[in-house]
Amino acid sequence: MSTAIQFRKGFILFCCIVVSYITIAVYKRDVAQGFCDILVRSDGHAQSIDHFKEALAKGQQRWTSNENTVIVGREFFQYLASQLRETAYPGVDNYTQYVVTRLQLKPLRDVKPLRPDFGPVFNDVKSFGYPIEIRPCREDNVRGLPKLFVAVISAPSYFEKRDIIRQTWLRQLQTDSLVNLVGFGFVIGRTDDRDTQQKIESESSTHGDVLQLDMVDVYYNQTLKVVGLLNWINDRCSGVDFFLKVDDDVYVNTQNLATVVKHLDPAEHSVYGTASDSIVRRDGKFEISPEVWPWSKYPVYSMGAAVLMPGSTMEPLLAACQTTPYFLFDDTYLIGLCTGKAGIAVRVSDRFLAGYAQQMPEPCYVHDSIAWLTDSVEHLNKSHWASAEFYKNVTTCIIEGLDGANQTVDQTKEIEFYFARSQP
């Protein structure tokens, strides 16, 4: 008997037990433990998330009809969830089942699934509005160069960051003809500040590179922002070979980016980035409660500040977003949960997102890195000057050769970046 059949039978049995519990108000420990054992054995996964209000409004509804309705007592559910705490993450299907049970979600039967084989639809990923748009990707081919779309995740009020990016690595990407840049956009959400919105509209009129989603731009809506971006790309840039998503505090070494893009296969069912530690934090900025995420680790994923995706992954990733309940952290959700749902490999290199550089990055750091984090507009600008000086041979990277003698790196020679398949 397959694992899936065992899980379904187990869950049906659990539903019957819960109904009996509600009817006669009996709380039996052996029943609760039996349900937990079913979840742990199922090779799937259980997961829970406090969905922010807008996520629920846009894509997820509570069960209000009388179709197979099961109401789980709060105390009873908390006991069940407590039995999963600090156990191993068991997979995306049980994550979905856990959320459906915890939040009593009902599938959106009036929404057409992008991939019927992915299961019931819980998120209406096609319903996003875009008050300000950019042009769809160009379809032209340039000397056989790979077609690249770049999206920079920004915030409504970060005008200075967007300006410095336009003046630095974006301009270089546009003018050096290292790749066929078929589209570019700064991705922001909605702001309630009228003056800021007017400035954004003026910025869009001047540059034509602002993509605004009709959703409140706050930290806890980052997952919605990324899913809305995927929907836009899937609709208007379906022919792109690669899609680069970076945050606006990331500097991109366009020379090394072009090298990577030219040597990767756009048909490869993989995403590329730098591995996260997958640690679940119970306090601080990335705190998540045990009830929301009871397991000891997150699924394998790469850090969301810089991710490269082949265009062939857009549709299956969006289909996975449609059928996987939202999770608070966008990189865990998209590159961890949804890649698992879509069967997409996560391939990683420490040099893809190299962390924070010095205020004036060293020549060898520039030579070895595809992208790195910056802590200010000034830092981003200095990163650009450091890169320009290295590739113009103003500064040099000196390494120790195999014979122990110092050697000067040839900055014109392409270097090879190896991406290993990330393992749990």
Per-residue model confidence (pLDDT) at position 411: 92
Flag whether 118 is in a domain. no
For every one of its 424 residues, what pLDDT tens digit does the chain have, with 9 covering 90 and above? 454 554 454 455 445 544 444 433 333 333 333 333 433 333 333 333 333 334 433 434 433 333 444 455 667 677 777 888 888 898 999 899 998 888 889 999 999 999 999 999 999 999 999 999 999 998 877 777 999 999 999 999 999 999 999 999 999 999 987 899 999 999 999 999 999 999 999 999 999 999 999 999 999 999 999 999 999 999 999 899 999 999 999 999 999 999 999 999 999 999 999 999 889 988 888 899 888 898 889 999 999 999 999 999 999 999 999 999 999 999 999 999 999 999 999 999 999 999 888 889 999 999 999 999 999 999 999 999 999 999 999 999 999 877 788 999 999 999 999 999 987 6
Per-residue model confidence (pLDDT) at position 117: 96
* Residues 159 and 190 reside in one and the same domain: yes
* Residues 357 and 332 reside in one and the same domain: no
* Residues 188 and 267 reside in one and the same domain: yes
* Residues 31 and 168 reside in one and the same domain: no
Domain count along the chain: 3
Taking the C-alpha atoms of residue 181 and residue 175, their distance in angstroms, rounded to an integer, is: 10
* Residues 273 and 362 reside in one and the same domain: no
* Residues 238 and 377 reside in one and the same domain: no
8 Å CB contact between 366 and 396: no
Per-residue model confidence (pLDDT) at position 404: 81
Last residue of a domain, one of 320, 348, 376: 348
Taking the C-alpha atoms of residue 170 and residue 53, their distance in angstroms, rounded to an integer, is: 35
Taking the C-alpha atoms of residue 385 and residue 133, their distance in angstroms, rounded to an integer, is: 31
* Residues 309 and 390 reside in one and the same domain: no
Flag whether 35 is in a domain. yes
Flag whether 138 is in a domain. no
The three-class DSSP label of residue 412 is: coil
Flag whether 75 is in a domain. yes
Taking the C-alpha atoms of residue 261 and residue 241, their distance in angstroms, rounded to an integer, is: 9
Flag whether 136 is in a domain. no
* Residues 230 and 276 reside in one and the same domain: yes
Flag whether 122 is in a domain. no
Flag whether 111 is in a domain. no
* Residues 336 and 370 reside in one and the same domain: no
Last residue of a domain, one of 317, 348, 379: 348
8 Å CB contact between 142 and 218: no
Flag whether 96 is in a domain. yes
**How far does CA 244 lie from the centroid of its chain?**
11
Count the neighbouring beta carbons within 10 Å of the beta carbon of residue 280. Answer: 19
Taking the C-alpha atoms of residue 96 and residue 112, their distance in angstroms, rounded to an integer, is: 19
pLDDT tens-place string over residues 376-390 = 999 999 999 999 999
The three-class DSSP label of residue 165 is: helix
* Residues 378 and 417 reside in one and the same domain: yes
Last residue of a domain, one of 57, 88, 106: 106
* CATH number of the domain residue 294 falls in: 3.90.550.50
* Residues 272 and 383 reside in one and the same domain: no
Concatenating the DSSP letter of every residue in 81-99 gives HHTTTTPPP--HHHHHHHH
Q: Which domain holds residue 294?
A: 147-348
- Comparing CA positions, the residue from 311, 304, 158 lying closest to residue 230 is 311
* Residues 249 and 101 reside in one and the same domain: no
Taking the C-alpha atoms of residue 307 and residue 344, their distance in angstroms, rounded to an integer, is: 14
Per-residue model confidence (pLDDT) at position 71: 54
pLDDT tens-place string over residues 126-171 = 999 999 999 999 887 777 799 999 999 999 999 999 999 999 999 9
